[in-house]
Amino acid sequence: MTRAFPADFLFGAATAAYQIEGAAHDDGRTDSIWDTFSRIPGAVVNAENGDVACDHYHRYAGDVAVMKELGLQTYRFSTSWSRVRPDNGPVNPQGIDFYSRLVDELLGAGIKPWLTLYHWDLPQALEEKGGWANRDTAELFRDYALSVHDALGDRVGVWTTLNEPWCSAFVGYTAGVHAPGRQSKTDGLAAGHHLLLGHGLAVQALRERDPGLELGITLNLTVAKPVDPARPGDVDAARRIDGQLNRFFLDPIFRGSYPADLLDDVAHLGFTDLVRDGDLAQISQPLDSFGVNYYNGSLVSDRPTESAQLSHDPTNRATSSPFPAADGVFNHPQGLPVTAMDWEVQPDGLRELLVRVGAEYTGPAGTDLYVTENGAAYDDIVASDGSVHDADRTRFLQLHLDAVLDAIDEGVDVKGYFYWSLMDNYEWAWGYQKRFGIVRVDYDTQERTIKDSGRAYAAIVAARSLTTAAEPALAK
């Protein structure tokens, strides 16, 4: 069966500055929190860092040519605060010029630039002043956003403030798994609120500067379900995960309030003391677009599982739960196939998530809805001729695009899909051990090779349709 995508549906791919650019010390760029975190013993697998990464800073023209060969309509990338305004000082002409040249290259190839202002790489100089746990950082983020707009606003129409602020706040400041590596429930909650405040300040300032911009944010979301829907402990576990991962961000953005049950959960941590009069009105600025990042769902209980953990910390470094008020909540396996990250493959979770977000949040707000990240890491094998036959990733892509079409059939106006990632890259605390790309990167030679999954995606984009046929099932 062949299923067509809407005529205005956008197909793209996504990356992030620190994961691909390299050139960590070139042309005036200074350290971000990820440069510093990667030097902490045990923080990153093999002590790997983003100093070189995919060398995109020097190879961007060739990478854009690959995007054009794939037929991508749009490319979601992030700008590096440490490159644009090193140490949050004055604008760095060489740093901002790189993004200006990248945008020109994209436009010349007929590819729509989709700019994300913050993808986790806070200048280390600001972390030393408190980072996102310091309220001042929210206002400095607005100023940085305007600096980027000064240079690129004439050619870039789509602006995303933050990528996955849950990860920035709670994986970075509470779990300690990501930069800056803190393990504090109160710091994570402060960071979460200040990230939202920075988002609202930037949206207001950019809209005042240019009312024609398409402004939005991207959140990583999950579908949290109880192991036993009839058991109160399991139901409460799912409620807590949904509240502290999904609704912590969705409700302030779209409803101008934090959920009451969430506030009850974190009351002992003094969270409401952080929220000042006017903050929630600032955070809930109307948005033009909203991005969902989805990788897998969650099946949870207040009882431990006897099975192995569904995901593992990259290293043996001591870390904490990212959830500030979900002690005693445990993930349970669903018996689904898993990726190389040990993440379960649950495409119907994407359909369910899009239906919920569309019905409860973006639909009532009149905000366009996109899937801004979805992808899978697998242990690719390079054939003797250099090709990469990544059948599992190809199937993952097909299954999730099918789920997007299912959501559209249910009446959700999904406007586009971005595969994560365009190319293999630095996978944060996993270093270079996990490959998500539809384009392989040989880190020794920096050679790019389009994988079978990339060819399959290009065929879908060209046909603007998905052919579903009997395919081999993913291995469990």
Q: Tell me if residue 218 falls in helix, strand or coil.
A: strand
The strand pairing partners of 271, in sequence order, are: none
Of the candidates 164, 344, 352, 427, the residue annotated as catalytic is: 164
112-151 per-residue burial string, b: 16 or more CB within 10 A, e: under 16: bbbbbbbbbbbbbbbbeeebbbbbebbebbbebbebbbeb
- 422/420 Cα distance (integer angstroms): 6
- 75/56 Cα distance (integer angstroms): 14
- Closest by CA position to 187, among listed 243, 240, 266: 266
Of the candidates 48, 344, 352, 373, the residue annotated as catalytic is: 373
Q: And the tokens for 277?
A: 């009069």
Q: Identify whether the C-beta of residue 203 lies closer than 8 Å to the C-beta of residue 287.
A: yes
Q: Identify whether the C-beta of residue 112 lies closer than 8 Å to the C-beta of residue 75.
A: yes
DSSP for 68-136 reads HHHT-SEEEEE--HHHHSGGG-S--HHHHHHHHHHHHHHHHTT-EEEEEEESS--BHHHHTTTGGGSTH
205-221 per-residue burial string, b: 16 or more CB within 10 A, e: under 16: bbbeeeeebebbbbbbb
CA atoms within 13 A on the CB side of 180: 22
- 416/8 Cα distance (integer angstroms): 8
Q: Tell me if residue 306 falls in helix, strand or coil.
A: coil
Please confirm, yes or no, whether 127 is among the known catalytic residues: no
Count CB-CB contacts under 10 A for residue 383. 8
Please confirm, yes or no, whether 164 is among the known catalytic residues: yes
Q: Tell me if residue 420 falls in helix, strand or coil.
A: strand
Q: And the tokens for 425?
A: 């890259």
- Closest by CA position to 234, among listed 337, 370, 332, 365: 332
- Closest by CA position to 437, among listed 427, 429, 168: 427
Q: And the tokens for 350?
A: 């994407």
- Closest by CA position to 162, among listed 172, 154, 151: 172
Count CB-CB contacts under 10 A for residue 392. 20
Q: Identify whether the C-beta of residue 85 lies closer than 8 Å to the C-beta of residue 92.
A: yes
User: What amino acid positions are annotated as catalytic residues?
Assistant: 164, 373
